[in-house]
Amino acid sequence: MDDHIIIGVHVSNRAQQAVELQKVFTEYGCSIKTRVGLHDTDANVCATTGVILLEIFNKDGEDNSIEMLDRFNEIEGIDAQKMIFEH
C-alpha cells in the first residue's frame, strides 16, 4: 500500500494568488487525488486567507510531490508543507 502524502497550502491572499495556484493545480491535476479548501466565512465575510489540503497520488510510481511543493512555494505569499504517513 502506498504512503499517504498530504500537502498543505496556506494562502495569504486568495484574490492575488488564485490564478498562479490554479496553474499549479492544473499542471499536477492527475497527481491530486483529493483537494479540500478551508477558510473562514459567514453571512457577512468571505476570508481572503485559507488552507488547501491535497492528497497526492504517485502517478506511475513517480513522487512528484517535491516538485509540486517547490512550485507552490515559488508563489509569493504561499507557504506549502508536506506530511507523509507511512504504512
Q: Do residues 13 and 49 lie in contact, with contact meaning Cβ atoms separated by under 8 Å?
A: yes
Give the chain's domains with CATH numbers: 4-85 (3.30.70.1150)
pLDDT values of the chain reduced to their tens digit, one per residue, 87 residues: 678 999 999 999 988 999 999 999 999 999 999 999 998 887 888 888 999 999 998 766 678 899 999 999 999 999 999 999 987
Q: What pTM did the predictor assign?
A: 0.88
Q: What share of the chain is helix, strand, coil (3-state, %, to 5)?
A: 35, 35, 30
Note the pLDDT of residue 2: 78
How many angstroms separate the Cα of 74 from the Cα of each of 10, 24, 68?
A: 13, 11, 10
Note the pLDDT of residue 60: 66
